[in-house]
């Protein structure tokens, strides 16, 4: 049962939060602590978060509960969580402008997931593309957490009255389901949740594999040459770009029949902040070799400051730990206030 003191404390905290953020739309972003973070993660998501954090009321969550949908170990999960926190800070996320925290440190995420499951249909979850892709023909053997993944994701988003969720096109289905769940809840229990919108960037949302430009650059790819890790040294970066697949012909142009060159040009354009047309003109008649050599220099130069800061943070893990503790406290204040409203809407806990 919620005490009067707790309700009063939450109300004061929530009012303070509202005063500080009532002129900005709220953005929630979650990223899973698994695998080695790469250039696609940075260009497709993290850099956009950094660039727009001053314009929005931002909440960035390391979703370690989602990571449990795949087999992991205690040590691996802890190491990956701290590593991701260091990556986010090294890339430029500012704790004074944004809330950065670990999902499991705010227990309201798990509680809301269960409550939202009561208004989520089994058929909706079974039809989710991510579940079908990861389960494959072994859907009878995969973890139930994989099936419930979208419900927890909906809880993550709805818990904070999120307006915008930065995602790639491949995650749009999850946001649509989140909206359906929220609308169904609101219809049954009264207006409780904000219906979020996906924030899909025109470029950079899908950086593709260096080995197969029809596939998204992925942390889970077994081929280390398919992606450029944020921790790769300059020689490794140059080798991977030199070996990256190309299309037939020798013209450095972006076109539907040149997916490999289109991907490499996109990376060059995003990092150099030059239009693709300018880059195409620069390498007209020069062939792939000169283009790849310069692209490697652009990547090495662009990642150098991030790598230097990441090395410092790895030497001082207490920095990230302090940020995460503070972020959890700030996120929890919002989450507790929202869950009081949710429980009241559903008739839970107050007699």
User: Looking at the annotation, which residues are catalytic?
Assistant: 134, 216, 219
DSSP state of 276: H
Lookup: tokens for 175: 């946001």
Taking the C-alpha atoms of residue 236 and residue 49, their distance in angstroms, rounded to an integer, is 27
Taking the C-alpha atoms of residue 199 and residue 51, their distance in angstroms, rounded to an integer, is 14
List residues bridging with 234 in a β-sheet: none
Taking the C-alpha atoms of residue 67 and residue 72, their distance in angstroms, rounded to an integer, is 8
Q: Is 121 helix (H, G, I), strand (E, B) or coil?
A: coil
Q: Are 263 and 246 in contact (CB under 8 A)?
A: no
Taking the C-alpha atoms of residue 300 and residue 218, their distance in angstroms, rounded to an integer, is 20
List residues bridging with 255 in a β-sheet: 258
Q: What are the residues whose beta carbons fall under 8 Å from the beta carbon of 300, sequence distance 6 or more?
A: 234, 237, 238
Q: Is 97 exposed, middle or buried (0-12, 13-18, 19+ CB in 10 A)?
A: middle
Q: Is 26 helix (H, G, I), strand (E, B) or coil?
A: strand
Taking the C-alpha atoms of residue 341 and residue 162, their distance in angstroms, rounded to an integer, is 15
Q: What are the residues whose beta carbons fall under 8 Å from the beta carbon of 69, sequence distance 6 or more?
A: 143, 145, 146, 149
């Amino acid at each position: 049962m919620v005490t009067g003191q707790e309700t009063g404390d939450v109300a004061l905290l929530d009012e303070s939060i509202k005063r500080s953020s009532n002129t900005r739309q709220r953005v929630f972003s979650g990223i899973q602590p698994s695998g080695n973070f790469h250039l696609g993660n940075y260009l497709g998501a993290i850099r956009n978060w950094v660039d727009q954090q001053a314009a929005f009321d931002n909440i960035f969550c390391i979703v370690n509960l989602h990571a449990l949908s795949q087999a992991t170990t205690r040590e691996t999960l802890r190491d990956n969580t701290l590593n991701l926190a260091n990556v986010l800070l090294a890339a430029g996320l500012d704790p004074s402008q944004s809330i950065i925290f670990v999902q499991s440190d705010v227990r309201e995420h798990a509680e809301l997931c269960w409550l939202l499951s009561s208004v989520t249909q089994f058929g909706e979850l079974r039809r989710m593309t991510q579940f079908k892709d990861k389960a494959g023909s072994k859907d009878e053997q995969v973890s139930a957490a994989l099936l419930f993944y979208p419900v927890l994701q909906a809880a993550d988003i709805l818990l904070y009255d999120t307006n915008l969720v930065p995602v790639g096109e491949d995650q749009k289905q999850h946001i649509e389901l989140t909206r359906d769940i929220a609308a169904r809840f609101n219809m049954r229990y009264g207006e409780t949740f904000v219906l979020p919108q996906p924030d899909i960037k025109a470029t950079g949302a899908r950086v593709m594999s260096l080995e197969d430009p029809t596939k998204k650059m992925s942390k889970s790819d077994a081929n280390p040459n398919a992606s450029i890790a944020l921790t790769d040294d300059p020689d490794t970066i140059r080798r991977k770009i030199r070996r990256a697949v190309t299309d037939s012909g020798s013209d450095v142009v972006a076109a539907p029949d040149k997916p490999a060159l289109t991907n490499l040009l996109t990376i060059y354009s995003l990092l150099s902040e030059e239009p693709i047309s300018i880059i195409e003109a620069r390498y007209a008649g020069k062939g792939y070799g000169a283009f790849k050599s310069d692209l490697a220099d652009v990547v090495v130069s662009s990642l150098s400051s991030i790598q230097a800061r990441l090395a410092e943070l790895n030497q001082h893990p207490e920095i990230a730990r302090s940020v995460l503790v503070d972020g959890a406290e700030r996120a929890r204040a919002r989450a507790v206030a929202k869950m009081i409203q949710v429980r009241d809407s559903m008739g839970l806990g107050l007699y």
